[in-house]
Amino acid sequence: MPKSKLSTQADVVCKHTCYEMGLSYGELTDPRWCDDRYLNSSCANSNCKHMFVSKINTVVSANMIAYKPSLRRPLYECLNGEVCKHAFCIDCWNDNSKKAEEESGPTKRSRRRPNN
């Protein structure tokens, strides 16, 4: 298994309302981390039905939808993810970062992806 991008950043303080890549969130594209870090975890958005899995055929809780991170549809995790486990699916990430840009203007480091 490849080394986590977050493993050297254990002293990072969570900034969950800042949607800037590299400052508060990182992109996780390797689904194998879901078994270790996000087992039985769902998206941080309470209205979202995505549950993070390493294999798309994994059985998830009732009313939930399996979400396997990939290059096209990554999981966005707090840089302090090993401690706080705060993460978003791509749909919620795009919604939240768009709202943040509307409120404070675009930032150089914001990164939204298409909802494909």
pLDDT digits (tens, 9 = 90+) for 35-61: 888 877 899 888 999 999 998 888 888
The per-residue pLDDT for 8 is: 44
Give the pTM: 0.72
User: Tokens standing for 88?
Assistant: 């978003």
Backbone angles phi, psi at 76, to 5 degrees: -105, 115
Percent pLDDT > 70 in the chain is 77
The per-residue pLDDT for 99 is: 82
The per-residue pLDDT for 14 is: 75
Q: For the chain, what is the total number of helices (H) and then of strands (E)?
A: 3, 5
Calculate mean pLDDT across residues 63-85. 87
23 or 90: whose pLDDT is higher? Answer: 90
| Exposure b/e, 73-107, CB count within 10 A at least 16 = b | bbbbbbbbbbeeebbbbbbbbbbbbeebeeeeeee
Calculate mean pLDDT across residues 84-108. 81
